[in-house]
Amino acid sequence: MSHRKQQVVALLKAIETGAAEPLAIINPDKYIQHNLAATDGLAGLGALLAALPKGSARVNTARVFEDDGTPRPLNNEVCNNYSVTNTR
């Protein structure tokens, strides 16, 4: 697995573990918050993740595809396809 794919998997796992370090790969100039309940920017994402009750989030990344250097993980339990672009 490429380094970029490993970073994306770690980023998604951070939703479950609460680890802050993997969030450092997110480019704050390119990050777009799509959850209307969260405030914009990385601060909003951090607050959203911090508000999760401990042990409530589960992440199972089944596959990570990489197109044109852009990792695209697929989490089969919730069938969400995430695109992580312009990482640091």
Task: Name the pLDDT band for 70 (thresholds 50, 70, 90).
Answer: low
pLDDT score for 73: 61
Q: Which two tokens mark 34? A: 């799509």
Question: Which of 64, 56, 57, 59 is CA-nearest to residue 81?
Answer: 64
- What is the maximum alpha-carbon separation in the chain? 36
Tell whether 38 is covered by a domain: yes
pLDDT score for 63: 83
- Over range 19-44, report the average pLDDT: 85
Write out the residue range of the structural domain in which residue 50 sits.
3-81
Strand partners, 80: 75
With a cut of 50, say whether residue 62 has pLDDT above it. yes
pLDDT score for 78: 40
Tell whether 87 is covered by a domain: no
pLDDT score for 88: 52
With a cut of 70, say whether residue 40 has pLDDT above it. yes
What percent of the chain stands above pLDDT 90? 3
Tell whether 69 is covered by a domain: yes
* Number of domain units in the chain: 1
Tell whether 88 is covered by a domain: no
Question: Which of 43, 44, 41, 50 is CA-nearest to residue 15?
Answer: 50
